[in-house]
Structure formats: structure tokens, C-alpha cells
Structure 1
Amino acid sequence: MDGKKKMPRIPPGFQELLESLSYDVLRAQPDDILRFCIDNLSNRLSILQDEGTKKADFTDNDNSLPITQSDAPSLRKARERRGGVAAESWDPENVDNTEKVVYPKTEEQKSSLLDAVRQILLFRCLDEDDRLDVVDAMFQRTVEPEEDVITYGEMGDNFYIIESGTYDIYVNIDNEMKKVTQYVDKGSFGELALMYNTPRAATIRAVTPGVLWAMSRETFRSIVLTKAFKKRKLYESLLESVDLLKPLSQYERNNLADALYTRIVEKGESIFLQGDVGQEMFFIESGSVVVRMTTPEKPDEYTELCTLGQYQYFGELALLTKNPRAASVYALERTRLAVLEVDSFERILGPCQDLLKQKAQEYAETLDKLTAENRI
């Protein structure tokens, strides 16, 4: 026996979990990081349990690189040479509003990149407009056979999406670089470089001529993290404006802010219809909507009750009652909505339901007059 031990590999899904958790921490900038991480993971577990899932459903995709424990000494030396591995100091409130970066692409390239971005964990929280900004900001890099795109142990600052070409992936196994897999005309790699000044965990070498699309860490921060931070602050302020949620603590509202997501509706599109069972509450990030109601006497005619604009909300009683919607809501223009689903609300605020239902009963009485904050 040569005394060498076979080093275990990182379990599937672990890298994606760390990336996702790191992104949430950078986005939220919590004062109590430990508590935030515990709650974050607990919420993930609750979602999986609600769906009847026994384990985390992280996609086993092309950007999951196996990393062995024998990587540790070499990577540690790289950290020491280059000053350590950590999230660099970054204050999203002080980021300059720089001019939007756009690199030219064909419509086919844009469509292909957009499809790839939708599948990448770090970008799944973005709405479609933000993903388009990410695509616009990616620049092209061509490579030749035997060219190393990234090199094990070197510091990384770019993330890559493959447009074409074949690429071999090598990792350190027992202090020897060994090929572990191959990308052919698709895949992405280097996500951690978007958040951390960290040594590369693998070497990726071009086998054929190829085309890559790259994004720098600086661009990622200016587009993705800054937008996410500002959106989180907006969501917190929107939740604070809802009378129905006044009994909640700041901590509980923060958890609800994490559960909000963006939906874009086009002019004339219905958000929900009179008689529908309420499953969601809505906040208007931008745009405007109109609230319309019909009566049993004149079912083919509607009365326009009110219009709602930026930072107003509607559908709040769906969070606590199972009553059908009392009116229909349509977008007057292209409108961006922040959506809070009933299931998320109940999962996060289960212990507060009785208090909130009492508040809802009082609240509903004030809405029966069909004022601007109509019970819809």
C-alpha cells in the first residue's frame, strides 16, 4: 500500500447551497449573520417539507465542480499569497449609478444567454428585466485549443457562460491535476468569483476553438447585488405600509420581505378576476392598475372603482381569508408587482395567525364601503 487515502468529494448540491446562502447574506447584509443563516436554512427546509421533498432539490448542472480535500493545502497557500479569501468590502448604498453597460450581441446570442442565465442559481432571484441587464453586460471571449480559461489556484474575477466549444475540467486529486468531466457547447462556471476574491478550484482548458461570454465581479455587484439590495429595502418599506401587518415585529416583516418576488404584467392583462379565490397579495413597484366590479343585476357591465399606482397594494385579505375576490384588477400599463403568496405568509407567520385574523376582521369592516383600498 502506498499510504495514500482516497479523498472524499464535496457532496452534490453543497457548492450550490453555499453559493445561494452567501448570495442571500450579501444581499440582506444582516446584523446577526448566524441568526440569519439559521433562519434562512430553516425556511428552505420548511419549503422542501411543504412540497414533500426529502432532500434539497438543487439542480445537478454543469457548473457543479467536484472539489477534493486534497485541494485544501494548495488553495490555502494561494490564499496566503494573495491576502485571503473573503467577501470584499462593499456598500450597496454607496454604489454610484453608473451608465448601463451593453456589449453587442445578436438576437440569437441574447436568447441563448437569457436561457442560460435563467438556470443559474445566483440569477434566479432576478426578474426578467434584470436578467436582460445581466445578458447585456456580458462580454465575449474567444479561446483556442489548449488555452486555459481559468487556472487552478489563481484568483478569479470573471464568470463564464459557454456559447460554443469543448472544454476539459481538471481538479486536484491527491496533489495531481486530473480530468473529471467535460463541457460541450454548453455550461457555465466561475460563479464564486462573482462574490469572492477566491482562488479557482479547477482548471478549465479549451479542447477546441470556442466562444465564451464573461461577466466581471464589479459588473455583477453593480447590477445584481445593488438591485437586490435596493429591492429588499423597497420590500421592507412596502410591508411596513400595510395596516394589516402592523402587529408584526420588524424581524417578522423582514422574513416576509425575503418571500416576496417580482411579477411583470403587460397593459390590459388581468392580475386576478372577480370571484377568484385569493392566493396572493400584491404591491405595485411601478406602473398602475384599475379595479373593476360587476353586479349580479348587470353581469356584463363593470363599475370602475379606483386606480392604484406605485407603492400602493391590493389583495391583502387573501392572506387571511378564503373569500372570493370582490373585484377584478387589470394593468393599465406595463406594471411590475411584488407578490406575496399565501403559502409563504402562513409558513413564516403561523404563530401570529390568530392575532392577524382578529385584525383582519376589524380591517375588513372598514373596506366594505369600497374606498380606494377596496377589499379585493
Structure 2
Amino acid sequence: MSVVDGLPFAEEKKEYVLQILDPILEEMVSDVLAEMPTIPMDFMIQWLNKRAGKAAAFSEHVSVSQRNRILKQELRSLQGSLHEASTAAASAQDDVPDEEEEEDEEDDEPPADWFKSEDQMQKTRTSVSAEAYGQWNQKKAFTPPDYPKTEEQKQRLKQTLSKSFMFSALEEKDMQLVLGAMKECKIEAGEKVINEGDNGDFLFVIEKGALNCTKAVDGDEKVVKTVNEGDVFGELALLYNCPRAASVVAKDACICWQLDRESFNHIVKDAAVARRNKYDEFLKSVNLLSSLEAYERSQIADALVAETCKKGDTIVKQDDPGDKFYIVEEGTLYALKNFGSEEKRVMDYKPGDYFGELALLKNQPRAASVVVESETAKVLSMSRQSFNKMLGPLADLLSSKVSSYT
């Protein structure tokens, strides 16, 4: 009996499944089971690229946005094929008599080598989810630790935390609890602070120094990101209750502040998750950023700082140096440009619009002033450093934007 017999497909589709699709899927599933990757989607995408001989599509001459489009297209195609096949299989299964189902169940026990060892199960990345609470798992009364610190240390730490999205929005009473709960860690150059795949019990805030985040690729450690002063690392394992996604090694001697999981959950987590989700949803409405992956959007959301303004406030002034990029979250604004002795209104902004990118991209003074028109407005700003790091792949899109005041 053929695998497509009884499935509600046209004959040409059945032939396509048998001759074209099934051999590829069978080979891919076999390789997936042999490797048992922690992130199957990434493995399958890489597998398909190698299988199709498309290495050239990912040369250094291809932009990041083009790479993302290729990957998305292939992944959607794969997901659609798998979904169609699984739906049809489920439909066909519903028509099988009970006696046959019972016989199948007796023969369906998988071979022993399908099961992971206990060691593999411990190292496999769990599904990404926040910790749930209910009658079976209730939050308990919690008193955070309070490590002794001098006033000078507290001030240093507070200044460092103010640079991080996760702590900058904390109320003062919560900030004081966090300051007390953080423990100073001095790290030597070359010291590994986090191991990929381990369970995460701490996050770290960098006061001084830089560290490399690395992932194992084909047996080699590849640097995927460098974190610097003011950055937070190790927070994903705490935010999403999953194993460490990468290893972290000190590039030079560092001073970090360590916060334990329990303190983080009770003081910081809820506020941080709500903020990230809010901005992630908002960024989906920004045309420039709507095509980005969820991870990329979350990185941008983390770097944004909310600024509240009132009617008549000038957010940027023509001819001033440019050090920030802005996205309008609430309210309306307009751009004014001086043409000799005459000042003209040249641009209007509403929620989802952005401005300030030209001064950063071209390293030149502001081309126009931007003034708040509504009674109140809220803009999300991003520093030059974050802008260059987060929006580098979108530089071509930003540069090609035609502004009426340029």
C-alpha cells in the first residue's frame, strides 16, 4: 500500500509526493533524527540550503535582508508541505476501522535508538516559555538578598543599570531592591562565565570590560555577538526559562554584577516582559521594521528609550549634531526647515513614523527641526551606538528613503 493511497490529493499531487517530496523529506527527517539538533528549524533550513546547493546565495555580496527573505521563503514552503501532508494523513486515519487502529498501535512502538539518552534530555533546549503559576505552582513570599555595598558602589551600579532597558524603567523602590540583590563579580580575561546548554540561574550586567558570546558551529566556537559596558547578558535563560543559548567568555578583565534568578523573577521580570511585548507589537506596525524576525525586533525593543513630550517641544533642532534615531509611538509631530529667512513645514509624523536617521547615516547635522504638534506625544529613541548595531542591515533601506526636506 502506497503512503499516498487514501489521501484526498489529486493524482498529479500524489505522484509529486511520491517522486519528488517524499524522498527529500525522508532524507531530511533521517538526518534530523541522527543529529537531534536543539533548534530543528535552523538545522532544516541549513540542510535544505546544502541539499539544494545554494551556498552561493549566501555569499558576502548578498544583503542580510535578502538572506532573510530566502530563508523565510524556504521555511514557509517546508511548513506548508508538512502541514498539508499531516492534515491529510490525520483525515485518512479517521476513516480507518477500529480493529485496524488497534493492530497499528501494537506495531507502532518506536525503535530504541529513537529515544534520547538521559544526558541528551538534560542538555536539550526546552520550549521557550515563561514560568507559569497557578494552584499547583504558586509564587511565594520572597525577600531578596542584600549584599553590602558602599555608596560609591551603589552609585556606580545604578549608573550602569540605567543604560539597560531592563532596569532603566524600574521604580525607585524596585531599583533599590535590585541594587541590594546584586553581587559584584570580577572576571579575568579568557574566563568562561556561561556555558552553552547549561541551565541559567544568573544574569549579569557589565560595569567594565567586554565579553564574547560564542556558539558551537561544526565543532568550532564562533563569536556571534560582543557585549560591552552597560549591556546585560544571560537574561534570556531567566526570561524564557530555557537553557543557555550561547557561551560567554571575557575578552579582557571585567567587572560584572550578578543577579540571581529568584530576585530577577520577583523584581524585574514581569515589568521587562510587559515592556518587551508592548514594543514588539508596536514595532510590527513600523513599516521599516515589519519584515524583521521576532528576535531582531526584540533586540531593537530592548534598545529603545521612551521620551514623553508636550505641545511645542522641539525634539531635534536643525543644524544640531545628530546622536539619536526616533520612532513616534503616540501623538503627532512636524518638521520645520529654514530656507534662508523663510521657515517652512516640510514633513508630518504620526505613530509608526521615524526620523533622525539621516544625520546618523551620513554623520551630518540635523536637516530640519522636529516639533510636537499634539497636546502630548511619546517618542522612542535609540542611541547612535545602538542604531549602528541594530539597524546596520537596514542601512540601504534607510539611505534610499526620500525625505521632502533633504
- Normalised by the length of structure 1, the TM-score is 0.38
- Higher RCO, Cα 8 Å, sep 6+: 1
Higher helix share: 2
What's the TM-score, normalizing by structure 2? 0.36
Larger radius of gyration: 2
